[in-house]
Structure 1
Amino acid sequence: MKLQQRILTFLAVVSLGVATFSGVTPLRAQAPQSIPALPLDTAVRMGKLPNGLSYFIRHNAEPQARAEFYIVQRVGSMQEEDSQRGLAHFLEHIAFNGTKHFPGKGIDHFLEGIGASFGSNINAYTSFDETVYTLMNIPVPRKSVVDSCILILHDWSNSLSLEDKEIDAERGVIEEEWRSRDSGDARNQERLLELTFPGNKYGQRMPIGKMDIVRNFPYQVLRDYYKKWYRPDQQALVIVGDINVDEVEASIKRLFADIPAPVGAAERVYVPVENNDKPIVAIASDPEATQNLLSITYKQEVTPPEIRASILGVAMRYVKHMITAMANERFGDITQKPNAPFLGASMDIGPLFGLAKTKDATGFGAAFKEGAWEPALKALTAEMVRIKKYGFNKSEYERARKEYLVNVKKLYNERNKRKNKAWAEEYVSYFTDGGTLLDIPTYYDLISKMSEQITLEQINGALAELLTEDNLVLMLSSVKKDGVKIPTEAEFLAAYETGIRQQVEPLKEAVSNEKLLDKLPMKGKVVKELKDQKYGSTIWTLSNGVRVVLKKTDYKEDEILMSAQRGGGSLSMTASPLDKKLLNQLSDLGGLGKFDVTALGKALAGRIASVSTNVSNLYDDISGSSSKEDLETMLQLLYLSITAPRADQEAFKTWQEQTLAGLQAAKANPLSSLGDSISRFLYPKSPERYPLTEAEVKEANYERVLKLHHSRFATAEGFTYYFIGNIDEATLRPLVERYIASLPVKKGVQHKAPYDKVVRAIPGTHTKLYSKEMATPTGIAVNSLSAPSTYSHKGILIASTLSSILDQLYTKTIREDEGGTYGVSANVSLGRYPQPYYSMTVQFQTEPTKVEKLNALVFHGLEDIAKNGPSQDYFDKAIKNMEKEHSESLRRNGYWLSQLNHYYGQGLDLVTDFDQVRKSITPAEVQALAKQLIEAKDRITIYFKSIEPKK
């Protein structure tokens, strides 16, 4: 039977199955024997070696000459014993510190030598039930590189060195990773897991582990864990990219042949999650928590794998997606109104708390203002009751269906331009969780037909089974401080029970099929056209004087990006610092034309188009994006943004309420005030740079800010528009004439960038110390150096080279040698205004007693480069990585959009001579820059050291 006929047959079966959702065939049903698994995508080569190792290989050339190499372990923190908590994550770290074929830092050295970088291209993650090692976007110029990457996967699978000295060196790094994450919210989360999984491993296995174990476990314990769990029967290779599939498969079979099949292996058990007859109520609070959250969850049995692999599984996913999309639209509408009972709310259907493999759940959650859990719970349960009792209405379903279909259509349109990473992640998910692997055309066809067959009545019928009243879990997370009432478990449960007995009315049908524009603007004209060979661009001059630059690309099939810019910005305005600070926050609260924000979102359902405006220090900017089909919609939004911005006092009041709640909650984080303190220290006369305060939010003048913002965009004079993507000029031209050439042009608006008004940080040499009580001992160092220079393309690239070198150097000296931090952020750049200057910033987090000692290494490293020049190895890797990143950028629409702006708007050509300039950079020039910085008169060091909270 042909595939198309099979799909149609399956759809007929699904119609019968879905039609009974409201009856006896539940979403948790056993798969009927008559429903087979869906066909697998034949473009991916799948197999299993005799030793049990699985593999997925796919040729894909986006991006060109690049590939992803993953090894997936169906092993995570759930395989740890109580005395091993943290070893799964520790093993993930130590895998980069020496293997059979890549001793020491051999993996990093090899990959960095071909242009990859640690973090962005070389990484891994550990979860409860899996650990995944990722070599991402790796250059593959020849087969030997591919084989070397496969050999790395081989060593991760079976040949880690696990040397004593490397284990000891990594202990400090992991403790610093824990330190960087141990916030009040993280502590609340860990406590809630313990309470909601009573007596179950899922409540005791946060992957970061316990630091007393990380600091002290015997070496052999880690080696035993590795030998026990890292085995081919629990592993899969995922290799996707510009590779030869046959050659890769042969290399896998050859290189992994020496790994034997496990004998007498420990059983890999997915820990079951128990049902609960009585409600589980979990409450956690912490003085440093910034998130106030509550959730209502109904545990459910997982869908059997045979159903998830069938067409019924696809139908179930569709139904669940529709339900959550419609519910979340309702919650979003509520939060757009003043005096909303919660700051945000959502519904989700999937694995319990997003992590359990053996239990699914339907969950509702809400964020609330400090102490305001009762109104949030009442409102959340009211919507749950309304949904369960009355279901959703036709307009809601139509919008949700349109949104789903437009995204599936975009996936289909972009199927030949899909990135390697997207394919790789799909195969990782398939190996760890099962499901389907349909090819995209079949999936698109299936969803298109399915969405026509599944009715609103059938979806509403499924609600009875999702919104049950058993297996209940209630959770609340709150800040702990005087004046904030936290309920007891009994009070929280009683409030829930009262809430689900509420009497509610059905939601009124809200149909939104109005046009964005009732009357189209009068068209202008393209009065001049120029074909520029420089970047292969077309330049139009319009009848209103606006210039349009467009460049057609084939990097994405269904993407068009737009931007516009002119000089001006906030520095050209005569306005208060507060009004300038609020310009971009308040400008789009009201919606456009006749639509408020909520109505506009509904009117745009099923369309991929957006436009936004922004006022920076020096420029007025407009940006937008769309699919090919929705290009006109994007330009209509542009026209409305310029000619019909909308004020909405209720939206402004909502913004005030939510912003004040956010600022109030943030105070609980001891570091929340650090950014404000640093800004005030560095820019004592520039209050517009300081973070927004509660007093300023209350003081905000909505009308004045809107008038100020709209004054910048009410005229099109001086703007240059840029379009890039899969553009058809014949289609774009009349739309530009209609919606851009018709924009008003009014004289008198300053559109010259006020470069001379750019404010720099305070000059001179300064050291500043801040401190605050904090539960987790924390130290932070922030360094800023600057030195005068001249502005050039080469200068930009020299700065980038030094930045990369410092990143490598500090990773070795501060992270690896000292075990002093989880990561160091180092950046060197060349600024242009008000006069050209080099700047360097370095910051890291550590233990308070170490911060000054480690910070000395920052300057020691820079001094050594200034005196002796950079390491040739570091220099070569930096240049190679720069080359790699640039070659990848040349295939991105976003990169070209910015380059068009640089060239036509600011006269900077950063593309044409890139390779020539890059090749001309020498270690001596990097050394000279380091010397400039180390001798700089402008040097600022800021320390933060926490102090122990008073008991």
Structure 2
Amino acid sequence: MRLKHRILSALSALLVLGAAVGSFAPQTAWAQGGDKLPIDTAVRIGKLPNGLTYFIRHNAEPKERAEFYIVQRVGSMQEEDSQQGLAHFLEHIAFNGTKNFPGKGIDHFLESIGASFGRNINAYTSFDETVYTLMDIPVPRKSVVDSCILILHDWSNFISLEDKEIDLERGVIEEEWRSRDGGDMRNLTTLLQLAFPGNKYGERMPIGKMEVVRNFPYQVLRDYYKKWYRPDQQALVIVGDINVDEVEAQIKKTFADIPAPVNPAERVYTQVEDNASPIVGIAADPEATQNSINIYYKRDVTPAELRATMIGPLENYMKSIIVQMVGQRFSDIVKKPNAPFTEADMSVGDYIVAKTKDATTFSASFKEGAWEPALKALTAEIARIHQFGFNKSEYDRAKKDFLVGIKKLYNERDKRKNSTWANEYVSYFTNPSYLLDIPAYYKLMTGIAEQITLEMINGAAKELTANENVAIMMTSVKKPEVKLPTVSELLAKYEEGIKQTVTPLKEEVSNTKLIDKLPMKGKIVKEEKNGKFGSTVWTLSNGTKVILKKTDFKDDEILLSGSRPGGTYNLTKPTNLDLKVLNDISSLGGLGKFDDSALEKALAGRIASAGLSVGSLTDNVSGSTTKEDLETMFQLLYLNFTARRADQQAFKAWQERSIAAIEAAMANPLFSLRDSVSRLLYPHNPERYPLTIDEIKSVNYERVLQLFRSRFTNARGFQFVFVGNIDEAKLRPLVEQYIGSLPSTKVTYKMFPEREVASVAGTHTKEYNKAMATPTGIVIDMLSTSGEYNQKEILISDILESVLDQLYTKTIREDEGGTYGVGVNVGISRYPKVRRVLSIQFQTEPTKTEKLNALALKGLDEIAKDGPNEEYFTKAVKNLAKEHAESLRKNGYWLGQLSTYYLHSLDFVSNYDAILNSIKPEDVKAFVQSLYSSKDRIIITFRSTDAEAKK
């Protein structure tokens, strides 16, 4: 019985589904799986006479912002052999001039209203689709909305495709290829060829072939554009704080000049063949860091017309529940010593990249060369699922998690972000299914979850793991000491593994009570209303403080942050190794009576987290939850302070995973560069150097855990900040119970202890070399000088970072085609001394490093002499103002600002706009002058050498 038949069997069992969906639709045909589910009426869906589809929705989160997407049901699969890379090239060149926005007109217009390239203006190309995205665009007036619609119009049919711009973009795309063409990408390319023998999906990586990108004639790209970019394959998605009627009218007016295609080329979705015998493939590369086995059970895709009925939600529910239960099994295995794999997972969806064939996929990553135990363990779990399915406790936990997830979705339905809605409509257009409104979806899925039995789930799992239409793919590093199997050996071990004797998993009932005996309550001894930023401050009897701010940005989100002076710099004589692993291994053992796996299961059906960490200068707390699970977060917080468990078995498993990760990463020739740069920059701080295998082997778990616990045996001095949809009456007793009861004795730490942590001073030039298969050059510039720590300095540094992003995009990426992107970071370092710090980093062809770095430094020199480009400066200020306005509607922003104010007495909110608008180009000029004239300058260059000797 195929899965869809299993789904239909489950569907026929839902005879009382009408009761589950309540008055929404009792007894209707769609509730029995026959007709299409009703489409959410809040989204307006239409089609123009030329075939263009549109989705429009009013949504006010965030306010005065909107998303504008154009979706093309066209990707690399529409390329001919001689066109490989054109779909992706076209996506790039669409930003280089259109009918109504010549040159960089699109970027210039959007940046003029506060958007930025990359963050707000972007696109992507895949095998079967290309999507252009204008995200979080400010829409204070209708004219801006109309202009964004005009951009979509031009992308649809009026991209200029000028010879000069095409030639400039060739280099950019080659540098994008260079930045990605490592051993793992080469293995993936090979794997696709092996997984799709004789099929186009195996030969259409979207990045394409560089010989095509470098040399294709201009007309070839224009012909591709004219053939495939047409309204019958396009959709507009516009979601945000807009007038739906006005947007629809504007779409009809703007797109009226684009005719319906005449005798269009047929849009064919390439079918993927079934295979009677297993497809087996092995890809290995000397620079690969991913050692993995992937087992696929291919099957037919459920037709779109069925996915649009009750079958769609049923199928999705069953798949998600099964994937979750399998994921928990794999997680339990990985956390034990001598685990056969370092991680594993299951997924159900597309067969790798193909829309025309589904697959159940089991994947496992393993230690170098250890493919055989990984395969044996992976097939054992597949066989166990196929033969015995899951037990009641597993299903109960998975169902609880599912139900709490959709309840949170329902609770937050009115605060859903524009981007979430927009991406849902993109998916609906490219892969049609159902489009219910959230209340109906919540009622329907709740009913399904309550009525789908474990037997139904196990029946579906059996079909998903049927040993037919199989593909087995392995990727590995390639080096003499790693023995790889032959294809026949890999297949033989798979067939042996799938037939091995297995036993059912034992039933495991979770103890869900986190704390058996509640601690002695403390008291709130002082309350201050009208605190900073509208907060309330409670002082507790144990010397801790609680700051709370109620917001309405999210209906069902409460965030927690806490800090006090302390951190690693206040520890007494820790070893460098202790500091490196302090936060990583302290949480391995779980809390109270629960090891880490048991704790995961005990928290099933609850959305709550809390954790501790030790920073350089502060001891820190973090957490998040919903209104319903607030007490659970408090209990986790209390246990973190008082009952961190030791678990030697978990520690040993961590050591094994960490060693395997380093061994795998070392295959990347750039792995050693990070270590070299760290040692150059921080000669006095070995704790900043990357972990080594020998260090991992020598970690003293007991000492590190005791060191971590010592930071939190005493809670005095902590300030806990809560932000979100808070009910003070419910929060108060929980604060007294779980924070007021934390142990507290008097303690004094310096916020800024004297310690040598400065980076290297003076001027240094360093070059590194290593063999690489893909010729690679990397440049890192670092400049620093003294400064002041205040909001104006920070904002000047932010403006400079944006100005340099724009400058280098123009000069190094676009004019020179020299790199895919220049990474710029400008900031103010506060400790041990206040420093202005600028770093510039980019990757390119090795012979271009000096020329391009000269351009980068020339840009700085020109700013130091003449100040920043006025247009760049104006755009930077507008973008910062836009981002700040958006931040004011985010709980996470206020969490950080309240923490900063109450810990450091710094207010970075009240005068933000006034200070930002007071900054002049001369301020940026002076900032750059101080950096550019500083003697503290480091230039690091990496140039690859010939890799032939490695092969």
Tell me by how many angstroms 1:513 deviates: 3.0
2:244 is the counterpart of 1:245: yes
Offset at residue 859 of structure 1 (A): 0.9
Q: Which residue of 2 aligns with 1:386?
A: 384
When normalised by structure 1's length, the TM-score is 0.97
| Corresponding residue number in structure 2 for 1:25 | none
CA distance in 1, matches of 2:351, 2:841: 38
Superposed CA offset, 1:546-603 (max 9, x none): 0110000111111000011011111111211111111101110000000000000000
Could you tell me how far 1:827 is from its partner in structure 2? 1.5
Which residue identity does 1:394 align to in structure 2?
A: K
Aligned to 2:502: 504
Alignment correspondent of 2:912: 914
Q: Aligned partners of 1:737 and 1:106: how far apart in 2? A: 58
Query: SS of the counterpart of 2:948?
Result: coil
| Aligned-residue offset at 1:754 | 2.8
The residue number in structure 1 matching 2:21 is: none
Verify: 1:871 aligned to 2:869, yes or no: yes
1:532 aligned partner, one-letter code: N
**Amino acid paired to 2:740:** A
1:630–1:33: structure 2 CA closer, same or farther, 3 Å change rule? closer
Is 1:490 paired with 2:468?
no
The residue identity in structure 2 corresponding to 1:217 is F
Which residue does 1:601 correspond to in 2? 600
Structure 2 contact 32–310 (Cα < 8 Å) conserved? no
- CA contact 1:718–1:751 (8 Å) conserved in 2: no
Q: Is the 8 A contact 1:11 1:450 kept in 2?
A: no
Q: Is the 8 Å Cα contact of residues 307 and 433 (structure 2) preserved in structure 1?
A: yes
Cα distance in 1 for partners of 2:194, 2:681 equals 45
Letter in 2 for 1:375: P
Greater CA drift, 459-468 or 686-695: 459-468
- For residues 47-100 of structure 1, the C-alpha deviation after alignment (integer angstroms, 9 at most, x for no partner) is 000000000000000000000000000000000000000000000000000000
Report the Cα distance in structure 1 between the residues aligned to 2:889 and 2:748, rounded to whole angstroms: 36
The alignment's C-alpha RMSD in Å is 1.4
Describe the superposition over 1:646-669 as per-residue Cα deviations: whole angstroms up to 9, x where unpaired.
000000000000000001111100
Matches within 5 A, 1:860-899: 860-899=858-897
Q: How do 1:917-932 residues align onto structure 2 when only pairs under 5 Å count? A: 917-932=915-930
Match of 2:27 in 1: none
Shift of 1:306: 1.3
* Distance in structure 2 (CA, Å) of the matches to 1:534 and 1:921: 25
C-alpha deviation, 1:16, in angstroms: 6.2
* Residue aligned with 1:256, SS: helix
Q: CA offsets per residue over residues 449-501 of structure 1, 9 Å max, x none?
A: 11111000111112232211221101000000011111000000000010011
SS in 2 for 1:716: coil
- Counterpart CA distance in 2 for 1:824 and 1:772 is 22
**1:32 Cα deviation from its structure 2 partner:** 12
Partner of 1:261: 260
Q: Distance in 1 between matches of 2:916 and 2:185?
A: 44
Distance 2:358 2:179 in 1: 31
Are residue 638 (structure 1) and residue 637 (structure 2) matched? yes
Percentage identity across paired residues of the two chains:
66
Q: Does 1:740 align with 2:718?
A: no
Q: Distance in 2 between matches of 1:806 and 1:347?
A: 43
Tell me, what secondary structure is at the counterpart of 2:671? Answer: coil
Q: Displacement, 1:13? A: 4.5
Tell me the residue number matched to 2:131.
Answer: 132
**Counterpart position of 2:357:** 359
Q: 2:570 aligns with which of 568, 572, 586?
A: 572
* Offset of residue 357 of structure 1: 1.0
Aligned match of 1:295: 294
Matched residue, 1:658:
657
User: 1:617 deviation in Å?
Assistant: 0.8
Partner of 2:336: 337
Encode CA deviations 1:333-372: one digit per residue, 9 max, x unaligned. 111100011111111111101x211100111111011010
Note if contact 2:389-2:462 (Cα within 8 Å) is conserved in structure 1. Answer: no
Q: Work out the CA distance in 1 between the residues paired with 2:13 and 2:73.
A: 32
Cα deviation for residue 11 of structure 1 reads 9.9
Letter of the 2:145 counterpart: V
1:443 aligns with 441
Give the 5 Å matches for 1:686-705. Answer: 686-705=685-704
Quote the Cα distance in structure 2 between the aligned partners of 1:770 and 1:613: 38
Does the alignment pair 1:589 with 2:583? no
Question: Which moved further from structure 2: 616-625 or 527-536?
Answer: 527-536
In structure 2, the residue matched to 1:517 is 515
The residue type paired with residue 535 of structure 2 is: S
CA distance in 2, matches of 1:342, 1:97: 47
| Stretches of structure 1 lacking an aligned partner (at least 5 in a row) | 1-8, 19-30
Q: Report if the CA contact (8 A) 2:125-2:206 is conserved.
A: yes
Deviation at 1:278, TM superposition (A): 1.2
Cα distance in 1 between the residues matched to 2:61 and 2:731: 27
Q: 2:410 aligns with which of 409, 412, 417?
A: 412
Tell me: CA distance 1:846–1:241, structure 2 relative to 1, closer, same or farther (3 Å). Answer: same
Figure out how many residues of one structure are paired with residues of the other and give that number: 929
Counterpart for residue 93 of structure 1: 92
Q: Does 1:799 align with 2:797?
A: yes
Equivalent residue letter for 2:939 = T
Q: How does 1:117-266 map to 2 (within 5 A)?
A: 117-266=116-265
Q: Distance in 1 between matches of 2:864 and 2:615?
A: 35
Q: 1:755 to 1:254 in 2, by over 3 A?
A: farther
C-alpha separation in 2, matches of 1:680 and 1:295:
38
Match of 1:4 in 2: none
Matched, 1:544 2:542: yes
8 Å CA contact retained: 1:178, 1:208:
yes
8 Å Cα contact 2:385-2:465 kept in structure 1: no
Shift of 1:532: 2.5
Matched to 2:223, the amino acid is D
1:685-729: CA deviation from partner (whole Å, max 9, x where unpaired)? 210010000010000000000000000011001111100000010
Map 1:47-66 to 2 at 5 A.
47-66=46-65
CA distance in 2, matches of 1:507, 1:172: 55
**Number of the residue aligned with 1:27:** none
Distance 2:31 2:791 in 1: 66
SS of match in other structure, 2:581: helix
Three-state SS of the structure 1 residue aligned to 2:605 is: coil
Residue 168 of structure 1: how far off its partner (Å): 0.1
Structure 1 contact 349–360 (Cα < 8 Å) conserved: yes
Alignment of 1:716-731 (within 5 A): 716-731=715-730
Task: Please tell me the residue identity of whatever aligns with 2:457.
Answer: I
How much has 1:545 moved relative to structure 2? 0.8
Check whether the contact 1:69–1:237 (CA below 8 A) recurs between aligned residues: yes
Equivalents in 1 of 2:536, 2:468: separation in Å? 64
Residue type of the partner of 1:885?
Answer: E
CA contact (8 A) 2:11 2:33 kept: no
Partners of 2:684 and 2:66 in 1: CA distance: 50
* Cα distance in 2 for residues equivalent to 1:463 and 1:616: 45
Supply the distance in 2 between the matched residues of 1:757 and 1:928 (Cα, whole angstroms).
30
Which SS does the other structure have where 1:842 is aligned? strand
Paired letter, 2:633:
M
Given candidates 814, 817, 826, the residue that maps to 1:816 is 814
In 2, the alpha carbon distance for the partners of 1:158 and 1:658 equals 51
> 1:540 corresponds to which letter in structure 2?
W
Q: Which residue number corresponds to residue 789 of structure 1?
A: 787
Q: Secondary structure, in 3 states, of the residue corresponding to 2:66?
A: strand
SS in 1 for 2:281: strand
Deviations 1:17-39 (A, max 9, x none): 99xxxxxxxxxxxx999710000
- Indicate yes or no: 2:445 matched with 1:425: no
Structure 2 SS opposite 1:64: coil
Task: Write the distance in 2 (CA, Å) between the matches of 1:467 and 1:515.
Answer: 35
For 1:40 and 1:103, the matched residues in 2 are separated by: 39
Distance 2:904 2:689 in 1: 28
Inter-partner Cα distance in structure 1 for 2:748 and 2:772: 48
Aligned to 1:37: 36
Does the 8 Å contact 2:107/2:117 carry over to 1? Answer: yes
What are the ranges of 5 or more consecutive residues in structure 2 without an aligned counterpart?
1-7, 18-29
